[in-house]
Structure 1
Amino acid sequence: MRILVTGATGYVGRNVLPQLVSAGVDVRALTRDPARAKVPAGVDLVRGDLSRPDSLSEALEGVERMYLFPAPETAREVVARAVKAGVRRIVVLSSGAVTTGYDTDFHLPVERAVEESGLEWTHVRPGEFATNTLHMWAPSIRAESAVYDPHPDAVGVPTHERDVADIAALALLEDGHTGKAYTIVGPQPLTHAEQLEAIAAAVGRELSFKDVTAQEALAYYQALGGWAAANAPFLLGLVTYSNEETTPEAEHQYDKDTVEEHPTAESVTNRPGRTFAQWAQDHADDFR
């Protein structure tokens, strides 16, 4: 059996690969730049780009199952090519925002394209990724031992990307997951202050919050560019998921009892979900 992993160098995809290798299946990884990609021994690296479906012919050859990273603009054409190539099962990296109804134009179109293809499908819908703090906080922690966050009491339920990868790998390898959408969160709600404490313990030095407003924090993240700039308005509570303007107080939870409950990865894997403290230890060098 040959399995294709798209988004193979992403935080989830890179953790799916070794599980497939350990299972003894034929693993192929799609990447835009094979020369720079780091993958486990035995993985077949193939050049391709989901934004260019015509580049996927070699990658899809002989593939029976596929882990699909979301690319909504081309999802239907990518899935059509997968069907034509003989793919029988697709596991989609989706988002918990689909479950809550906030995501109607990014992950949801990918889910629908796969569902309407007639193939076996499973959607993995993580809530808040723990890696959000890496994108947002790591630059200022490395430079200033501080973070630009005006809401230390805001509550999240961050999920370790390895928990997401575990579910994706099981859905690729095992039967019994077809037609299911797994919405998962981390094992415990934590304030931003508690998350920063965990990172401080992992890196071995004191860290603090900058005394900033949401607009001042936004200006900092916009200057960083990239992922942080693109997602800061939502994460700071200045816009809703659908990009409507709001106030920070409207978008952030301050009471752990009001956080919406979803299962952890344990509901699928039968192993306890990884804590944020463990995630911080796993990524300590990224914050140093």
Structure 2
Amino acid sequence: MSKILVTGATGNVGSHVVSQLAGAGLEVRAFARHPERVRAAVEVVQGDLYDPATLEPALKDVESVFLLWPGFTTGNAAEVVAAVARHARRVVYLSAQAGDGGEAPSHYAEIEELIRRSGLGWTFLRPGGFAANTLGWAGQIRQGVVRWPYGEASRALIHERDIASVAVHVLTSAGHNGAAYALTGPEELTQAEQARVIGEVTGREVRWEEQPVEEARERLMAAWGEPAFVESALTTWESFVTRPERATDTVRRLLGRPALTFRRWAEDHAADFA
């Protein structure tokens, strides 16, 4: 098998993709803005997808690419996809699923369409909510109170390691061309229940305090600076109160084992809440 290029190689998902591919003895090249942060002993190329010229050297002798787009807009994604298509044969794109579990939303759908038109063989991974997003509560967990909106919003959060394992499976096996996989964790928990589980795992009693939406909007705008993304997030969370994000069995079907639970994720990340 020819070389596999992993973009976003130091991120929550990409770092696991790199380590799992390397652990399987496969030729992997990591593409990262900060090469020193790549933990696995693999070939590393420094670069930034916002500067497609840095991607060209990383694509030499590459057959397959794990693609993670780093922004909230498409930007120069067309140039990146075209560069991948000049060198590689297939791409596994880390996309997303809409709040109703359907087609990819916003810029994810635009990048999917670029890939479809590129001539590359493709597979789209569409995870729902990331368990890792609850790391944003770490400071509040330490204080014993999570103040956030929509405590009754219910989601089937997925462990980033499961996303990576699916990506590695798709990159290294046949039969996935043209597939779009909806990925979730195995159980549906409200945000208040997620906070409680983290508290139990870390030995803290954690209380949920409902935050007014307008207050949350101001806080998220200060953190993200993208009005459209903030409104999309708030609308999505609100929708999960009455229409929970349903768990899929995709991870089990592809990997032959159940998806990792949210409690397992919290145990794996207990030190991050210490």
Task: Give me the TM-score of the superposition, normalised by structure 1.
Answer: 0.85
Aligned to 1:30: 31
Identical-pair percentage: 39
Query: Deviation at 1:211?
Result: 4.6
CA contact (8 A) 1:187 1:264 kept: no
Q: How does 1:181-220 map to 2 (within 5 A)?
A: 181-220=180-219
Cα 1:75–1:28, aligned 2, differ >3 Å: closer, same or farther?
Answer: same
Q: How does 1:44-123 map to 2 (within 5 A)?
A: 44-71=43-70, 72-85=74-87, 87-97=88-98, 100-101=102-103, 103=105, 105-123=106-124
Count of paired positions: 269
Aligned-partner Cα distance in 1 for 2:114–2:245:
31
Aligned-partner Cα distance in 2 for 1:259–1:125:
13
Aligned to 1:129: 130
Aligned-partner Cα distance in 1 for 2:207–2:16:
31
CA contact (8 A) 1:30 1:59 kept: yes
Could you tell me which runs of 5 or more consecutive residues in structure 2 were left unpaired when the two chains were aligned: none
Aligned-partner Cα distance in 2 for 1:102–1:45:
30
Aligned residue type for 2:249 = P
Cα 1:4–1:227, aligned 2, differ >3 Å: closer, same or farther?
Answer: farther
Aligned to 1:20: 21
Aligned-partner Cα distance in 2 for 1:234–1:274:
27
Aligned-partner Cα distance in 1 for 2:112–2:226:
25
Query: Deviation at 1:217?
Result: 3.1
Aligned residue type for 2:76 = T
Could you tell me which runs of 5 or more consecutive residues in structure 1 were left unpaired when the two chains were aligned: 241-247
Task: Give me the TM-score of the superposition, normalised by structure 2.
Answer: 0.89
Aligned to 2:148: 149
Cα 1:160–1:18, aligned 2, differ >3 Å: closer, same or farther?
Answer: same
- 1:278 alignment partner, one of 256, 264, 269: 264
Q: CA RMSD in A?
A: 2.4
Query: Deviation at 1:153?
Result: 2.1
Give yes or no for the alignment of 1:267 onto 2:266. Answer: no
CA contact (8 A) 2:13 2:161 kept: yes
Query: Deviation at 1:174?
Result: 1.0
